[in-house]
Amino acid sequence: PPFAIGLTGGIGSGKSTVADMFAARGATIVDTDVIAHAMTAPHGPAMADIVRAFGPGFADASGAMDRARMRALVFADAGAKARLEAILHPRIRDAALAAGAAASGSYVIYAVPLLIESGTWRARVTRVLAVDCAEEVQIARVMARNNLPEAQVRAIMATQVSRAQRLAAADDVIVNNAGIAELTAQVERLHADYLHMCRKFAG
């Protein structure tokens, strides 16, 4: 389907929860986190380039990326981070767009955590949907889900674009500060809007 939504939001804002709700209503979800993981799984499509760029020590015995070693490297070395992203991001984007083009749902939602940061995604989606969440709520949910201390959650959030930047780039916003019922109601409203828009979009 040509009508495509880019779904984004900060860590723990509720992207996956929202994506599941749209999927239950007939949208096709293409999750770039899932594709990213497959790229660096045992002998995944990005592994040959990663070994060529970083050395065989960055693959483990199964042929998957040694995630702990790579995490330590890119944390310490911005150049290495850029090289890894140059290998992964175009492949992830192309694989995601191919999956979306083959989708059978009424429309496609690309779940892209770094959509605002990446730039090249914006031109490839019809609308950007941001899940917004108050920082205190976001921190509490990630602490509970991942069993992480508050400081570590804040450190991850500090590497992401600000809430204000994300909201400024969004066409549609879901506010996820309350419960599941409030979230469901917003998804239902937007899904109805999107179905309407894709009918107009199709002609």
The binding site for ATP comprises 12-17
The answer to whether the CB of 140 falls within 8 A of the CB of 17 is: no
Rank residues 47 and 141 by Cβ distance to ligand ATP and give the closer one: 141
Rounded Cα distance between 71 and 115, Å, is 21
User: SS3 for 7?
Assistant: strand
Rank residues 104 and 147 by Cβ distance to ligand ATP and give the closer one: 147
The answer to whether the CB of 109 falls within 8 A of the CB of 5 is: yes
Q: By CB under 6 A, tell whether 95 contacts ligand ATP.
A: no
CB of 88 to ligand ATP, least distance (A): 17
CB of 63 to ligand ATP, least distance (A): 25
Q: By CB under 6 A, tell whether 130 contacts ligand ATP.
A: no
Q: What angle do CA 86, 89, 94 make, to 5 degrees?
A: 125
Rank residues 179 and 203 by Cβ distance to ligand ATP and give the closer one: 179
Segment 184 to 203, residues that bind ligand ATP, using CB under 6 A: none
Stretch that binds ligand ATP, among 10-18, 54-62, 63-71, 158-166 (CB under 6 A): 10-18
Other Cβ atoms closer than 10 A to 62? 10
The amino acid at residue 130 is: A
Question: How many residues at the interface with ligand ATP, by CB under 6 A?
Answer: 15
Q: What angle do CA 168, 178, 159 make, to 5 degrees?
A: 45
Q: By CB under 6 A, tell whether 15 contacts ligand ATP.
A: yes
Q: What are phi and psi of 75, to 5 degrees?
A: -65, -35
Q: By CB under 6 A, tell whether 141 contacts ligand ATP.
A: yes
List interacting residues with ligand ATP (CB under 6 A): 9, 11-17, 113, 141, 145, 176, 179-180, 183
